[in-house]
Amino acid sequence: GVKLIFLARNPIERMISQHRMRERLQNFQHSKSKALENQLEADISAFLKKEPKPMPRNWWRKGTSVANKGIPCLFTDDYLNGVWSGLYIVHLSRWLQHFDRRNILVLKSEDFFADPATAVKQAFEFISLDPAKVNIASVVKQVFNSNTAMDAINTNNTALKYEGDIDPKVRERLRAIFQPYNDALTETFGIDTSDWS
């Protein structure tokens, strides 16, 4: 049968990165972190208006009153909403309607980048390829998707670089929103998301 591999990144860092990428691609210049924080707050507000209220635990799973109609796509009109994009368990639950849990492997990006050889070996084993038959060291050294195009866009344009972290209050709001979804991801797929805070 079909096997799916899902690479998940800390949703807060992914959300920040998404907005930085949007800035670069649209040549959008935000010289201060406040502009980025305003974008993050706008995504938070839009999500909180659409999240089912009161939020039943695991509202995205079959059998709940909301999910009886299928797992809703809350952002058909704004699929780039950073909060919505980071609710991995919601998106994966849609996959679980069609694929057996045993046919979905979820890997953390942080683990992949920290130890690519181990992650590639795990992926090979998952798809029933013998890792011993492949020179994994040479595979993980290959560059399949470089940042060359992005570097060309950003040449001599230091204004597009975001320095520093976001306001701790904004980070805490995001952490609180993502926490139950991250916990459900851990519960369902067995990955440790405790460092995503």
pLDDT grade for 72, boundaries at 50, 70 and 90: low
Give backbone dihedrals phi and psi of 104, rounded to 5 degrees, phi first: -125, 125
Report pLDDT for 31. Answer: 46
| Least-confidence region, from 60-64, 101-105, 132-136 | 60-64
Question: Span 8-26, mean pLDDT?
Answer: 85
| Least-confidence region, from 9-18, 136-145, 153-162 | 153-162
pLDDT grade for 154, boundaries at 50, 70 and 90: very low
Question: Span 26-55, mean pLDDT?
Answer: 72
Percentage of residues of the chain with pLDDT beyond 70 = 69
Report pLDDT for 122. Answer: 93
pTM of the model: 0.77
